[in-house]
Structure 1
Amino acid sequence: MKPPSATVIIASACILLGTTIVHPAAIAGNEARQKQVVQQGTEVMPFSIAATTHIFTKTANGGIQQVVTKHPAPEQVAMIREHLTTIAKQFSAGNFAAPEKIHGENMPGLAALRTAKPGELEIRYRDLPNGGEIEYRTHEPRLVTALHEWFDAQLSDHGHDAMAGHDPGMMHHHSMDAPTAN
């Protein structure tokens, strides 16, 4: 019996560890996409994308999108808060033009989010000490799926300037029903 090749051994290890092998051309394509998103983002976001971290946390009933500064910078914090407040109002009105301009009209999840009827998708903005967050809540499974797809696409598009968060329900939860301190 012939011993397995190094490629077979590596691929098997990756499967067992739950990791994937990414072809170098795919990485280069993703980096080009991320550069394009940064360039288009400067037309929509008033703050420096490179000076911020975008955190996308999927929850059972939607998700939480946070933008925080990487270094203390009051002017960045003010710009983040102003932008996210505006975006939350636009999204509440069914206007998803800003993410479309940055990520494209065919961004995963956006088509379904545009179909949300009044009252199906709750969107609430909240200040954070180093930025801001938008919480999305729904009881509609199609919208939860859409939000999760949208978050995944943003994580991919923002690259090193984004990260997946952990469901705050396991630690502490910012309930939309409870008052928050700003």
Structure 2
Amino acid sequence: MNIGKRRLLTAGISTACIAAALAAAFWIDGSQQDGSDGRTNRQEAVAERGRSVMPFDLEETTHHFTPTDTGGVQDVVADQPDDEKQIALIRTHLKQEAKAFGEGDFGDPAQIHGDSMPGLAALEEGYERIEVRYGERSDGATLTYTTDEPALADALHDWFEAQLSDHGDHAETGH
């Protein structure tokens, strides 16, 4: 290979590496502050995509993500505990998600957060080894994820962290 071709190949590889690093950095911190409300452009885009997937109002609900040793607990609650409309919408959605996740269909989170969402590929691959249980609470609903495999529990934790970051003030670490 002549020197010109080698330099061109090296420049191409370097450019690809830089692009991958920038994409990873953007995913991790969601940079590019949008402005006055403190949300990032990524959080705004996630909220917009979420409106087409989740029937409840993100401005009137909160996601809680609680990692556990064997997986985690995801609660979605109405900010007003007597908001029957939001509670019904939360319950309907989480029942559907529990069924889909139990069948290995993580299409809704992928549509909202992107196919390269941390933990997602491992969850899709290992879904048969994760139990997903739906439960109701007075102000919304809960999904409990349980696995005997530490690597899948770690994937769930990564998946939770990505959602916490992407949902901004619509999500928090559980209690």
Q: Same fold (TM over 0.5)?
A: yes
Q: CA deviation at 1:31?
A: 1.1
Are 1:95 and 2:105 counterparts?
A: yes
| 2:158 maps to amino acid | E
- 1:3-22 residue pairs with structure 2 within 5 A? none
Other structure's SS at 2:59 match = coil
Superposition TM-score, scaled by structure 2 size: 0.78
Between the aligned partners of 2:91 and 2:42, the Cα distance in structure 1 is: 26
- Flag the structure with higher helix content: 2
Between the aligned partners of 1:127 and 1:165, the Cα distance in structure 2 is: 16
| 1:26 maps to amino acid | S
Are 1:76 and 2:86 counterparts?
A: yes
Between the aligned partners of 1:147 and 1:141, the Cα distance in structure 2 is: 10
Are 1:161 and 2:170 counterparts?
A: yes
Are 1:26 and 2:28 counterparts?
A: no
Between the aligned partners of 1:114 and 1:163, the Cα distance in structure 2 is: 24
Between the aligned partners of 2:32 and 2:74, the Cα distance in structure 1 is: 25
| 1:89 maps to amino acid | K
Deviations, residues 13-69 of structure 1 (Å, cap 9, x unaligned): xxxxxxxxxxxx936176111110110001100010110010000000000000000
Give 1:133's match in structure 2, choosing from 127, 142, 146: 142
Runs of 4+ residues deviating >4 angstroms: none
Between the aligned partners of 2:171 and 2:162, the Cα distance in structure 1 is: 11
Between the aligned partners of 2:127 and 2:100, the Cα distance in structure 1 is: 14
| 1:105 maps to amino acid | D
Give 1:66's match in structure 2, choosing from 75, 83, 86: 75
Superposition TM-score, scaled by structure 1 size: 0.75
Which consecutive unaligned segments of at least 5 residues does structure 2 have? 1-29
Match of 1:44 in 2: 53
- 1:103-118 residue pairs with structure 2 within 5 A? 103-116=113-126, 118=128
Are 1:57 and 2:66 counterparts?
A: yes
Cα RMSD (Å) of the superposition? 1.4
Which consecutive unaligned segments of at least 5 residues does structure 1 have? 1-24, 167-182
| Number of aligned residue pairs | 141
Percent identity, aligned pairs only?
Answer: 46
Between the aligned partners of 1:83 and 1:55, the Cα distance in structure 2 is: 15
Between the aligned partners of 1:76 and 1:126, the Cα distance in structure 2 is: 16
| 2:48 maps to amino acid | Q
Deviations, residues 49-99 of structure 1 (Å, cap 9, x unaligned): 110010000000000000000012101100000000000000000000000
Match of 1:147 in 2: 156
